[in-house]
Amino acid sequence: MSDKTLMLGAFQTFGLGGAWRLPANTSVDFLQLDHWVTMAKRLDQAGVDFLFFADDYSYPVLDGRVIDVAIEKAVLFPRGDPSTILSALALVTERLGLVVTSSTTVEKPQMLAKRLATLDHLSKGRIGWNVVTGSGQNASSKLMGEKMIAHDDRYAVADEHVNLTMKLWEGSWEDDALKVDKENGIYADPSKVHEIEHDGPFFKAHGLLTVPPSPQRTPVLFQAGTSPRGRDLAARYAEAVFVAAEVDMMATQIADIKARAEQFGRSADAIKFMPAGTFIVAETEAEARALRERMVGYQTLEGAAAAYAFFTGLDLASMDLDKPLATTKTEQGRTNVERFSGENGKPAPTVRQILDEFRRNGVMGQPFIGTPEQVVDQAEAVIETTGADGFLVQPDPTGGYDDFIDLVMPEMRRRGLLTEAPSGPTLRERIFGEGQARLPHDHPGTAYIAATPVAVG
């Protein structure tokens, strides 16, 4: 075991958790401020590094219609807008990072830049942006009244979107543009505030980010999605990558993204890798296993098929249950097609096996189950095998993190796996160390940093 300490994020959607039916599960309160305030305070005080909100404009659809069972059983539905809650959470927490998802096929770069720059100010530099490309295109493109964008094109859109957004954040204001000089009536130096000029195939922009420079400028860039195009996007721009698959597949993905990043001139430790971590923990292994089975018991094969349709667009119910996937062709997310296609060197499972895997584990890979000692043993093994840097922790069966905080973190701390004094105050410093509030020098976004040309001799 290396002596590195683990980074911990808390994974949430702004909706119901898979275990919402458990009597003690509180995720049905997701539209109440208090629900999030209580959770965020707890995470902050416990020393979890950040709260991460997945999001999507999509929901499970087949043949162009929402799947009834998704509404009835709350499968990847409903969803509120997590960007709306961040200022309240910034207010009640001291150091917790706040990571929010925004899709590059839905939100305009100019709007996202203004919104996240404002939030980066309000939180004093604690914002992260999880860049997604909109894998749920079959639903969201219809909702938005737009043509569905093919998988690889979505990554070209994402690449340009991220670049334009970084231009706005890094290039609009020079570091010393802001004066706030009441005496002389000078708010900012116009010669140090620059209009961005961008003319790309997907986006055009000529103008200003109207928000003065925030502590991090570019929020910490998160990414998920591990198709070849997704890995390429991660290797170019991501500072933290969320992975979720079987352990050996995660190891391959992480090694591949690291190698690609180095090809792009980024350092080997420029990206932190965060596997999904589902901790089902109790005083005894038997209790933990019983809890686990109770949770799985709430999941139906119909719900699993709806979830699979959400992530891939494929209709498992229309396929032969005893054969592998009848087609692996999709223009939606490929991560969960390639995972089960036999293309990764593993034998392709049958549709029945895929449904059962989705029913039990969804997209989050194998859970850790047992006593605190056992789950931390299992988690340490994942870190060792994959070279990952920590976990994006899935909520407890209750929807929050009380078990994780009360039972798992003390065991991690006992083993020296957690930092005692995280650096800050910004999220990027918390992840990469004191003084690193801005993008590092080997990040492509630094090319856009605004500076007045210096006349040379």
Residues 166-225 that bind a copy of itself (CB under 8 A): 180, 182, 185-190, 193, 195, 198-199, 203-208, 210-212, 214
DSSP 10: E
CB of 271 to a copy of itself, least distance (A): 28
Instruction: Find residue 10's DSSP bridge partners.
Output: 51, 393
Q: Which two tokens stand for residue 259?
A: 């190698």
% helix, strand, coil for the chain, step of 5:
40, 15, 45
Instruction: Find residue 102's DSSP bridge partners.
Output: 131
CB of 300 to a copy of itself, least distance (A): 8
Q: Would the CA dihedral through 326, 330, 332, 338 be positive or negative?
A: positive
Instruction: Find residue 369's DSSP bridge partners.
Output: 280
**Which residue in 121, 352, 360, 415 binds a copy of itself (CB under 8 A)?**
121
Specify the stretch interacting with a copy of itself by CB under 8 A; choose among 70-78, 246-254, 348-356, 430-438.
70-78
Which is nearer to a copy of itself, 96 or 417 (by Cβ)? 96
Specify the stretch interacting with a copy of itself by CB under 8 A; choose among 110-118, 258-266, 319-327, 448-456.
110-118
**Which residue in 1, 111, 255, 451 binds a copy of itself (CB under 8 A)?**
111
Which is nearer to a copy of itself, 20 or 264 (by Cβ)? 20
CB of 424 to a copy of itself, least distance (A): 17
Residues 353-382 that bind a copy of itself (CB under 8 A): none
Interface mask toward a copy of itself for 74-103; x: CB under 8 A = x--xxxxx-xxxxxxxxxx-----------
Question: For residues 216 and 426, is the Cβ–Cβ distance under 8 A?
Answer: yes
Angle at 43 between CA 240 and CA 23, to 5 degrees: 110
C-alpha torsion 362→365→371→373, nearest 10: -160
**Which residue in 2, 3, 63, 145 binds a copy of itself (CB under 8 A)?**
145
CB of 111 to a copy of itself, least distance (A): 7
CB of 193 to a copy of itself, least distance (A): 5
CB of 337 to a copy of itself, least distance (A): 23
CB of 270 to a copy of itself, least distance (A): 29
By CB under 8 A, residue 320 contacts a copy of itself: no
Q: Which amino acid is at 62?
A: L
| DSSP string covering 169-237 | HHHSB-TT-EEEETTTTEEE-GGGB--EEEE-SS-EEEE---SPPPSSSSPEEEE---SHHHHHHHHHH
Peptide bond into 78 cis (omega under 30): yes
Residues 149-168 that bind a copy of itself (CB under 8 A): none
Which is nearer to a copy of itself, 142 or 360 (by Cβ)? 142
Residues 231-260 that bind a copy of itself (CB under 8 A): none
CB of 437 to a copy of itself, least distance (A): 16
Three-state DSSP class for residue 392: strand
**Which residue in 38, 118, 353, 419 binds a copy of itself (CB under 8 A)?**
118
Instruction: Tell me how far apart the alpha carbons of residues 274 and 284 are, in angstroms, rounded to a whole number.
Output: 27
Instruction: Tell me how far apart the alpha carbons of residues 8 and 49 are, in angstroms, rounded to a whole number.
Output: 5
Phi-psi region for residue 416, left (φ > 0), alpha (ψ -120 to 50) or beta?
Answer: left
By CB under 8 A, residue 289 contacts a copy of itself: no
DSSP H or E run through 242: strand 240-243
CB of 247 to a copy of itself, least distance (A): 32
Residues 29-68 that bind a copy of itself (CB under 8 A): 31-33, 37, 57, 59, 64-66, 68
**Which residue in 73, 95, 260, 339 binds a copy of itself (CB under 8 A)?**
73
Residue 341: φ, ψ to 5°: -100, -5
